[in-house]
Structure 1
Amino acid sequence: MSSVIDQIIHTAAKLSQAGITPSTATVKAKMGGKIPMPQLIEGMARFKALSSEEVTQAAKVMIGSDDKPSTAAETARADDIQQQLNQLQHAYKTLSERVAALEAKLDGIA
């Protein structure tokens, strides 16, 4: 039972660190909605009793497969980040080619 409560605390801490006020509804949704209400309430009560330093520490703790995207929103965010990375890599390549062309022109002038 305590591992479920630890996961609830971890999830609430991650939400808090992301600027979202954790509630029983947001934590339950983030965890997939299959948490018994008594455990959810106990986990939230324990989370609310944590200091800000403990919240930061709880957000860093990785539990099980929590590092994998578990919701459609997280998957969409990961896809968006990947797309941004691809665009930046393309822009870098384009700029590098332009710099090389300009350097070649300068070498021809000098």
Structure 2
Amino acid sequence: MSSIDQVLSAAKAIAQKGHTPCLALIKARVGNHIPMPVLIQGLKQFKAMSEEQVQQINDVEPQATSAPETQPDIDQLVQQMSLMQQQINQLQQRIDALESQANEHKG
């Protein structure tokens, strides 16, 4: 199975679980042995495919560099990404509040 085929297969599996395929989720699924340009090319190719073309992608599980039992679950990764985004939003709100206080003290 070529690297692009592995990326397409991973993207299909992620989509079938109800998630939107993205570089982070695909990389977590296929491991670190596929170069980033190939991951990007595969994701772009997947997004351009029709539903019929997606169904024709091999369902063969990509060969990851680590043992399957050590790979994080896609749902767990999505949950972690969501939590990190919430933390980023909270930090941005704190920064905005501090900047506002600093500006009030200046003038």
TM-score with structure 2 setting the length: 0.54
Aligned to 1:26: 25
Aligned to 1:83: none
Larger radius of gyration: 1
Q: CA deviation at 1:70?
A: 2.2
Query: Please, what is the CA RMSD of the aligned residues?
Result: 2.7
Output the CA distance in 2 between the equivalents of 1:64 and 1:41. Answer: 16
Unaligned segments of structure 2, at least 5 residues: 74-107
Aligned to 1:61: 59
Q: Which has the higher contact order (CA 8 A, sep 6+)?
A: 2
Q: Percent identity?
A: 38
User: Is structure 2 residue 59 aligned with structure 1 residue 47?
Assistant: no
User: 2:28 touches 2:72 (CA, 8 Å); kept in 1?
Assistant: no
After superposition, give the CA deviation of every residue in 1:9-56 in whole Å (9 maximum; x if it has no partner).
011011101111100110001112332111111111111111112212
How many residue pairs match? The answer is 71
After superposition, give the CA deviation of every residue in 1:51-80 in whole Å (9 maximum; x if it has no partner).
11221221x5326768xx7243579xxxxx
Say which structure is richer in helix.
1
Aligned to 1:35: 34
Unaligned segments of structure 1, at least 5 residues: 76-110
| 2:11 alignment partner AA | A
User: 2:30 touches 2:62 (CA, 8 Å); kept in 1?
Assistant: no
